[in-house]
Amino acid sequence: MPFFKNLMELPRTFTCTLISRSRTHLLLNLLLILTLFLLSSWLATHSLIVTATALASPFLFASNYVSSFSSISPSSTSFVTGLHGNWTLSSVSTIERTRWNSRKTQSDIISNLASCDIFDGTWVVDDTRAPLYPPGACLYIDENFNCFKNGRMDSDYLRYRWKPHGCSIPRFDGRKMLNMLRGKRLVFVGDSLSRNMWQSLICALRESFKDKSRNNEVFGRRKFRTKGFYSFRFRDYKCSIDFIKSPFLVQELKASGKTGTQRGRLRLDMIQGSSSNYHNADIIIFNTGHWWTHQKTFKGKHYFQEGSHVYDRLETKEAFPKALRTWAQWVDTRVDSNKTKVFFLGYSASHFRGGQWNSGGSCLGQAQPITNETYLASYPWMMNILESVLAEMKTPVFYLNVTKMTDYRKDGHPSIYRHPGMEGGHRKIQDCSHWCLPGVPDSWNELLFATLTNITP
C-alpha cells in the first residue's frame, strides 16, 4: 500500500539529507525519525482495527438479532413454496428491535445469517406481557369465545407466550400492522377456527386506538353464527378485515330427497360460490379441517359429488385431497400472486377427553398446557395431504402451521364456558375445539404480524 511504502522510505530520505550535518543533529534527527516511525505504525495498526470493527459490527448485529423464517419439510413447515416456474422464496427475517438498530431499516440488515421455524417452540410463562386486549373488553368477540364474560374465573391460560426455539418474534404492534394494511383488504376464508382468528385480530388492532369508537365499523355484528359474511373496517386506514364462512372451501349444496327432506351434498369439484367476492383481496388466509371430521362427512355415504356423480360411499381421506386440489387449482387460476398474498392456517388441535363434542367429550378443569411432547397427538393426516397439495401449487402460499403449538394448549378452550349460563344443557356439550379470547389465536396473529413485517415492502 502507498501509505506503508512512504513510511518505509522516510528513514532513507532523512538519512541522505542529514549526512552533512553534525553528529549531534544527526542523533537528534535519528531519534525524531524513530519517534515518527513508531507513531505512524501505531496509527496504521489502530486504523485497521477500527476499520475491521466497523465492518464486522453489522454481522455481529445480524447474528445476534436476526431470526429468519425458512422453507422446511412437511410436518414442520413455516412456508411452502411453489415448485413450478422460476419463483423461489428466500428467507424472511424477523428483527428484534433494540435501541441501536431502531434507526436501521430492514434493508440495512443481512437477514440470512440465521434461520428459524417460528412454529417449532414452546409455551413459556410471561407475566411481563398483558394480553393483546383485556378480557371482556372487546365488543366483537363471539359469545361462544368470550370465556371471561361466560364465567371462567381462572386466568392462568392468559399467562403463556409462544417462544420459538432459537429465535424471537416481535411483539404485536397494532398501529404498525394497520399501517401495513393501509388501503388494503385482508380476508379470512374458512371455518369457525378462522373466525376465532379473525375476531382476535380485530380486537388486537382495535386496542391500539385511544378512541375505540371513531375509527372502525362492523357489518354482521351479533349475527356471527348465522351469517356467512362479516366485515370490519378501520376508516382512518381505509382497510377492511373480513371473514367469509367456507368450512370446506368447496361448495356444499342442498338437495331434496325422495321424501322432500333437504339433504346436503358436497361438490368436490366446485369452489364455494362466494370466492368471486375475495379473489382480488390483498391478503387471503384460508383454512379448513374440522368439518371434515363431522359424522356426516366422516361416513361419506351419498354425500360427496363430482359433476353429476354422487358417490355411494367415499372415504374422507379420498375426498379431502380432491377438494383441496379444486381449491388449489382455483387459487393458481384466479389469484394474482403479484397482488395477493395467500396464507393457509393449519389444523388447530382439539382436546376432547372421554368422547367427542356430541358424545360427552370434556376438557373442563384443564389449567395448564401439555409440557411433555410425548403426550401430544400424532400429526393429523389432513395436514400431510395439505402440505403435499401446497407443494404442487404454482402460487406461493405462506403456511401458518399452528398444529403442534395448539396441541400443547389443552387449557385454552371454552369448555363449559361457551355460554353465559352453565346450568342445564350447556354443561352437557363442551367446546374443546375453539379457543377462549383473549387466548391462543392471539399468538397466531403475532406470527402473522411477524410474517407480514418481513414480506411487506
CA 117, 118, 119: angle at the middle one, nearest 5?
90
Q: Please report which confidence band the pLDDT of residue 277 belongs to, taking 50, 70 and 90 as the band edges.
A: confident
Mean pLDDT of the 223-252 span: 86
Rama region for 21: left / alpha / beta (φ>0; ψ in -120 to 50; rest): beta
CB atoms within 10 A of CB 159: 14
Beta-carbon contacts of 203 under 8 Å, excluding residues fewer than 6 positions away, are 132, 133, 138, 140, 141, 437, 438
Beta-carbon contacts of 334 under 8 Å, excluding residues fewer than 6 positions away, are 275, 279
DSSP string, 321-353: HHHHHHHHHHHHHH--TTT-EEEEE-PPP---B
Cα–Cα dist 77/119, whole Å: 8
Q: Is 174 helix (H, G, I), strand (E, B) or coil?
A: helix
Residue 294: Cβ-neighbour burial (10 angstroms; 0-12, 13-18, 19+): middle
The pLDDT, as a whole number, for residue 215 is 65
Q: pLDDT tens-digit profile of 143-177?
A: 999 999 999 999 999 999 999 998 888 999 999 99
Q: Please report which confidence band the pLDDT of residue 222 belongs to, taking 50, 70 and 90 as the band edges.
A: low
The pLDDT, as a whole number, for residue 317 is 92
Structural domains of the chain sorted by starting position, each given as residue range(s) with its CATH number in brackets: 116-455 (3.40.50.1110)
Cα–Cα dist 133/146, whole Å: 12
Q: Is the dihedral of CA 393, 452, 274, 272 positive or negative?
A: positive
The proportion of the chain whose per-residue pLDDT surpasses 70, expressed as a percent, equals 66
Eight-state DSSP code of residue 167: -
Q: Is 381 helix (H, G, I), strand (E, B) or coil?
A: helix
Task: List the beta bridge partners of residue 189.
Answer: 244, 286
C-alpha cell at position 364? 373442563
- 49 versus 305: the higher-pLDDT residue is 305
| Cα radius of gyration (the chain) | 30
List Cα–Cα distances, 61 to 69, 96, 109, 237, 300, in angstroms: 18, 10, 8, 34, 56
List Cα–Cα distances, 383 to 25, 214, 340, 380, in angstroms: 89, 41, 23, 6
Q: Is the dihedral of CA 145, 377, 402, 336 positive or negative?
A: negative
Q: Is 314 helix (H, G, I), strand (E, B) or coil?
A: coil
Show which residues are catalytic. Answer: 192, 431, 434
Q: Is the pLDDT of residue 182 over 70?
A: yes
Q: Is the pLDDT of residue 427 over 90?
A: no
Any idea which residue has 370466492 for its cell? 275
Q: pLDDT tens-digit profile of 278-303?
A: 999 999 999 999 989 876 676 678 88
Render the burial of 120-157: b for 16+ CB within 10 Å, e for the rest: bbebeeeeeeebbbebeebebbbebbbbbebebeeeeb
Closest CA to 40 of 67, 4, 85: 4
Beta-carbon contacts of 348 under 8 Å, excluding residues fewer than 6 positions away, are 193, 196, 289, 290, 402, 403, 406, 433, 435
| Mean pLDDT over each residue of the chain, to the nearest integer | 76
**E-state strands within 165-228:** 185-190, 216-219
Q: Which of 66-70, 80-84, 225-229, 311-315 has the lowest mean pLDDT?
A: 66-70
Residue 18: Cβ-neighbour burial (10 angstroms; 0-12, 13-18, 19+): middle
